[in-house]
Structures are given as C-alpha cells and as structure tokens.
Amino acid sequence: MRLLIRALRLCELGRQAASRRPVTAQECLGPRSSKRPGQRCWASVQAVGTRSALSSKLGVSVTRIMRPDDANVAGNVHGGTVLKMIEEAGAIISTRHCNSQNGERCVAALARVERTDFLSPMCIGEVAHVSAEITYTSKHSVEVQVHVMSENILTGTKKLTNKATLWYVPLSLKNVDKVLEVPPVVYSRQEQEEEGRKRYEAQKLERMETKWRNGDIVQPVLNPEPNTVSYSQSSLIHLVGPSDCTLHGFVHGGVTMKLMDEVAGIVAARHCKTNIVTASVDAINFHDKIRKGCVITISGRMTFTSNKSMEIEVLVDADPVVNNFVKRYRAASAFFTYVSLSPEGKSLPVPQLVPETEDEKKRFEEGKGRYLQMKAKRQGQAETQA
C-alpha cells in the first residue's frame, strides 16, 4: 500500500511537471507486461516488454545515486556495491519471468555470475543506471545480461562501467530445495537460442569443475614475511541475519558478492599498501544456499600478481551453528582482480607475490595461465574491432 501511494504521488508530480501523456500508477510500479515498451516511468524500478518474448526487449532498470558509504576513502565506489545492484536487477527480472505463467510460485536464486569487467570507475555523487534483460532460458535456469551506466548529473555525461551475465534457478516457495521449470521464451532469431545453449553448456561444465576444485581452507600463519600469501590473506566472519536474506530465509546473492569483494579488497590493500579498485571478477559460483542463522567465513588469499594487477581467490564457507546435523560447507568461490592506483588515479606497479609452499606455487602458475588467457582474449577482441 505504501508503494502504491508513493507511486501515485510521483505520477501526479509527473503530470504537473510535464506535458507528455500522463503516466499511470500501474506503469510506475512496473507491470509484468506493457503495451508501450518505450514508456518512461517516474519510479526507480522500471519494467518494459511483453511476457516471455525476447524480441520485445523484456527488461528491468534500477537507478540510484552513489553515496559516501558506497565508496572507499578515495571516493571510488566499491565493486561489491555495483555487484549487489547488478544482482538485485537480475533477481527482479528472473523472478518475474519465472512467475509469468500459472503454476507453483517461486523465487529466482543466483547460481553463477560470469566474468565481470569493471570498465570505468564510478564515484560518489554519480547516478548508477542498471539495466537487465533475459537472453536465454533452459529447462531449469535463466540467463540475464546486465549493463551498468554511470551518469554525472552535473554535466549529463554517461559512460558504461560494467557488463555482466548472471544465471538464476527458480526455487519453489513451498520448498526452497525444489527447482522448478522455467517458462520458455520466444527468440527473434534461431541463432539466439543456439548461442544461448552453447553458453549454458559451457557454464554448466565449469560450475561442476569449480565445485570440487576449491576444497581447502585458508589457515592463518604467525609472523609472515611481506609480499607472501600469508602476509595479506584475510578473513571476515559474518552472522547471517534477516536483513541479509530474502523473505524465504536464504541469503541474497548480492549480499554474498559484496562481502567477497570487501575481503578481496582488504587482501589487495594489505599487499600493495595503496588505493586499490576492482578491475574484474572471474566467474562467481554459488555451490549451495546460505540460510538465515548461519555463520559464514569469507576468506581471501593472493594467488598471482602481474606487473600491474593482483588476482585474489575468495572462498565462502557456511556453518549452520543452529543445526547440529549439517556440517560446515563451501557455499561460493571466485577470483577477483584488483589494480593499484596513485592518488591521481593512475595505475601503479604491484609488488610481486612470493609463493612459498608447493600449493602456493601451483596456484600462482594457474593464476598466470588465467591472466595470459584473458590478455590474449582482449588483444584478439581489440584486433577484431580495429
């Protein structure tokens, strides 16, 4: 009711301030289907398109201004803040789509985030425009592509800051351990479905491999030497409360990603002792749900350094302290890449990591392989565009 009253007030202001066609309260609240995809809305969350049709540009847009508590001491918005906004937009559109047909009601849960590059930093006072669109559905999952634009409201300048691809699965409201079927979508071109199926199979294979790859835990070391893995490794312990969770009692994916980015940032700052920003996030895999009341441990460790970047592995373990029958388990894992910046915002050289144990040396070589692979991919894309 409060949302309806707020929407009605906003729409009334819109009628008085502009000469365009009046906007109804229903449009402001974002209906599941609309006959006017181009219609603007005064509300902060917009929805346009026709249900279950990709050709109609089914999408959601979330907009908000960046505040001081969203940024670091240098005024750059935390990567975790952006990741949380991306996940919120994805959750809205995927949950809406999965409930677009009659049947058992559900909520979409985040299963995976593909590699996300932070193309440009966002600062305090800028407005973030997060737009999400469904690009593929399998029998039990939804692919959502998200773009983030930052706007300087003083000059009107806009720039693309992030692009991300997320995968969601619909969980029944009656039983959150039950995965439901996803309503199919209509593709405007056959190639869209074929390309989406290839992406689906690729991420499914990688997710299964990653689930068993990171079985170890980060152990503390007394009196570590500078520039070693042990020197910068960090952990954060967090009790999952109601504010972290959906209405159904498990943690929002965006909350987990924000905590992961926070730990990765601490590791990077400890290693190079300068201002640091998130450059990219490799695929984030959510292996299992985290329920309300769990104690989660988010651990980060340096795995690789190039001349100007740092790769940090982040692991999330959940401990259901109120349930003696469930043991501690691995809930999520990812690799974050950070860069070091001068006070003027220019890239600085990174102190080289000194791996000591055989496991650390192995992880260093694996990180180097990922770095070289991504570098070659970027060079290939640059040559193609040229």
The backbone torsions φ and ψ at residue 204, rounded to the nearest 5 degrees and listed phi first, read: -65, -45
**Residues belonging to the active site:** 72, 261
| CB 25, CB 5: distance < 8 Å | no
d(CA 286, CA 333) in angstroms, rounded, equals 7
Tokens of 356: 């000591």
Tokens of 315: 């692991």
d(CA 151, CA 301) in angstroms, rounded, equals 34
**Strand blocks (E) in 158-294:** 158-172, 234-239, 275-281, 284-286
Other C-beta atoms lying within 10 Å of the C-beta of residue 200: 17
Residue 33, CB half-sphere, CA atoms under 13 Å: how many? 10
Rounded to 5°, angle at Cα 295 from 290 and 296 = 65
d(CA 170, CA 103) in angstroms, rounded, equals 12
Tokens of 366: 């694996």
d(CA 128, CA 159) in angstroms, rounded, equals 10
d(CA 149, CA 64) in angstroms, rounded, equals 11
d(CA 269, CA 191) in angstroms, rounded, equals 44
d(CA 163, CA 157) in angstroms, rounded, equals 18
Tokens of 200: 């689906």
d(CA 101, CA 105) in angstroms, rounded, equals 9
The backbone torsions φ and ψ at residue 155, rounded to the nearest 5 degrees and listed phi first, read: -105, -15
Contacts of 190 (CB under 8 A, 6+ apart): none
Instruction: Please name every residue paired with 52 in a beta bridge, in sequence order, or none if there are none.
Output: none
d(CA 58, CA 106) in angstroms, rounded, equals 19
